[in-house]
Amino acid sequence: MQCIQRQPRRTKSEELIHYKENKKVARVNVELLGLDGDPDLQFLLGGGDLLKVRSSNWKRTRFYKLREDCKTLWYESHKTIRSSNPTFCVDDIAAVRSGRQTEGLQRHTDGHVEARAFSILFKSRRKNLDLIASSEEEAKQWVTGLEKLMSNLGKLTRQEKTEHWIFNCMRKADKDNNNKMCLKELKSFLRHINIEVDDDYAKGLFEKCDASKCGFLEGKEIEHFYEILTHREEIDVIYGEYAKTGGMMSAEDLLYFLNKEQREAVDLNHALNLIDKYELDSSAKEKKMMSKDGFLLYFHQPEGLILNPSHKGVYQDMTQPLNHYFISSSHNTYLMEDQLKGPSSTEAYIRALLKSCRCVELDCWDGSDGQPVIYHGYTLTSKILFKDAIKAIKEYAFKTSDYPVILSLENHCSVEQQKLMAQHMISILGSALVTKPLEDQMPMNFPSPEELKRRFVIKGKRLNKLEDCFSTEASSTKDVVSEEEESGDDEEEDKKPKKSKKLKLAKELSDIVIYCKSVHFHGFEDAQKNLGFYEMSSFKEGKAEKLAEETANQYIHHNIDKLSRIYPAGMRTDSSNYNPVPLWNSGCQIVALNFQTPCGEMDVNQGRFLPNGLSGYILKPAYLRDRASEFNPVTLTQGEWRQHKRFHMMVISAQQLPKVNQKKSSIVDPLVGVEIYGVNCDVAQKKTEHIDNNGFNPMWNANFQFDVYVPELALVRFVVEDYDSTSGNEFVGQYTLPFTSIQCGYHHVPLLNKNGDLLPSASLFVHIMIMDEPQ
């Protein structure tokens, strides 16, 4: 067995040189972040001891500090032997929470450490980092410093992020810390940033920059190397075509570009405003000119991204009835992983809500200590207290969106614990909980998302009709079965006895079910004749897909008047997902997916709810809200929905793609897929060829063409893969958005990782034309 030892200690003089060099590097990064002289950031750079908490019996002191790149946090174990120096990136942090807010700190620590405790939560499935500082003041400095760092890193322009990243990559390649780069270090640096080049190319590039012919690069030579590396040939071509005023782009030139290429109906004032906002050269700005650097900066701003900036905020009518919207919805929301033995956690609710999920599920069972719990019944999934879930939902429901949250109850509790469920929801959610109709008389339709802002709506069983709220008739309890048992579906048949157990329903719980009463579906005709607008059914995915395929128009009409919830089949024990698109095409509003499972279906779901301010509500097209609609997504006929578009796409290049494998020798061979989701005749997929050994700045200039017939229901997904001839391609990044939110012209496409979080500097560069075709 190989002995793992510490690195040899530096001499005092070497340590002093190393310390000075690190301070110099940190100073450059601190200035770039705009935090020069900030005491909290200086505190992070100095570091300090923190108590790391994993359980009641595992609490260890660790030394944490921010590295000189101002982007990496490192800690050193107090062991004499260690296998590595653990680190994590600030970009991977989702949030920093003060106090004992996580389940781990609440369970494994006492209240007296409240002021000294804080937690770091990550965007991926990585476990929370629960920490305790030695004093309240130090805890505040850690929290404040990290929050400042996250905020300022997020505010960097894409160009500044590139400069920051390349500067620190160069620093890592400079093994002897002499601020010089030899040929060997240059090749190591190129591999680090995801480029593999042959020896002749590396040598030629090195010699081109080595103006002094001394065998290494320094100062201006490294700057020249950086300029060559970050040169965007495709931007040069576009700029050169439109910069017609003495080699520069005048406001008139820029306006011509915006009108012709970007298809923007803007005037000269708009072009002048862009120059004022993005031109970096003060002399060019004074002359009302845009330089090439300003032009590149423009492309990295919201105007230069593929998502229409006017769709980034809430732009749709939010005063329509609730059932006129697609609603971002989660299934088994409490689970962090699979539904057989995965952990349940309040953190899962928090993550879903922060991703603008507006309908969460609570599977409620009797707890052994008299308190109702949430878990996936008859499985090995862990349990959480119902009241803890409601507390977490209350705190995080409206962080991303102000629009209403639906609590979908799957109730298996005894009457006594049902009363506690009602009591917890009423006491914790308070006036935000809808406990009676908004009107003083029996409503005839749903209230709107606008009317329900920052309110909670309960979906579950009810003892009587909503009309009885306005009469003196009283009900106490009656036999019911759970919602998914009553639907006649088999989601739970693999995890419980075949014979359904009847439950009594408590009046206290029944009374707070107002607009979303769960009922069995007996067919479209029965629903139309016998059900109130507020009475809704849940459908297992297989049944829903069959209805969407065989009776799509009837399903659409059902969803014009009622709400429908779709949920995954019970056989999906790995918490995988089904394709939500056919259900949206049939007007289904609450298409519930397993948010805890990264997959293409979740990418599409995130893309559907990307616009409209991440509100979690998307207004359905008019033909999915019109009672006279003849629309059928399966057998497409002529109508207002049919708006044939010719979609021209050029995938030009990519920038700073991440490595799939972090080994130095591993370089991405990227290809780009463009996928269309929508009605059957719109579904399509095309791919570029792969580029060998270049994830930093690959170029394709690949042209694709698609026909889109129902644009209001179409989504476009860009997916980058690492080509592998011997096995399946590996996922690199993706971005999905509605077809109607795409901007024409030259634009950057940001890329998200498999968890749906932004890859800080990675993007595609594309050109798009959308042409109206004769009907």
Q: Alpha helix locations (H) across 51-198? A: 103-108, 136-155, 158-173, 183-192
Task: List Cα–Cα distances, 312 to 324, 353, 403, 413, 428, in angstroms.
Answer: 20, 18, 16, 42, 32
137 is in an annotated binding site: no
Q: Is 552 exposed, middle or buried (0-12, 13-18, 19+ CB in 10 A)?
A: buried
72 is in an annotated binding site: yes
56 is in an annotated binding site: yes
DSSP for 608-664, written as a single string: HTSTTTT-SEEEPPGGGT-TT----SSS--SSTT---EEEEEEEEEEE-PPPSS-ST
669 is in an annotated binding site: yes
* Token code pair at residue 378: 């008859």
349 is in an annotated binding site: no
Task: List Cα–Cα distances, 292 to 160, 246, 498, in angstroms.
Answer: 16, 13, 70
C-alpha to C-alpha distance for 748 and 173, rounded to whole angstroms: 29
332 is in an annotated binding site: yes
* Residue 323: CA count within 13 A, CB half-sphere: 26
412 is in an annotated binding site: no
692 is in an annotated binding site: no
How many residues are listed for the chain in this entry? 775
573 is in an annotated binding site: no
Place of tokens 């130095």: 664
148 is in an annotated binding site: no
CA angle (661, 665, 667) in 5-degree steps: 60
Q: Which among 324, 316, 340, 184 has a CA at the least distance from the CA of 610?
A: 316
52 is in an annotated binding site: yes
416 is in an annotated binding site: no
Catalytic entry in 164, 300, 324, 376? 376
Q: How many CB atoms lie within 10 A of CB 141?
A: 19
459 is in an annotated binding site: yes
Q: Which among 763, 756, 448 has a CA at the least distance from the CA of 605?
A: 756
Catalytic entry in 324, 331, 747, 748? 331
Strands 590-593 and 325-330 turn out to be parallel
Is 164 among the residues known to form the active site?
A: no
85 is in an annotated binding site: no
723 is in an annotated binding site: yes
Residue 248's DSSP bridge partners are 245
538 is in an annotated binding site: yes
74 is in an annotated binding site: yes
Q: Is residue 461 within 8 Å of 481, Cβ to Cβ?
A: no
261 is in an annotated binding site: no
226 is in an annotated binding site: no
292 is in an annotated binding site: no
69 is in an annotated binding site: yes
Is 747 among the residues known to form the active site?
A: no
Q: Is residue 597 within 8 Å of 754, Cβ to Cβ?
A: no
Binding residues: 52-79, 332, 361, 363, 410, 459, 461, 538, 565, 667, 669, 693, 722-724
Binding residues for substrate: 52-79, 459, 461, 538, 565
Catalytic residues: 331, 376
Binding residues for Ca(2+): 332, 361, 363, 410, 667, 669, 693, 722-724
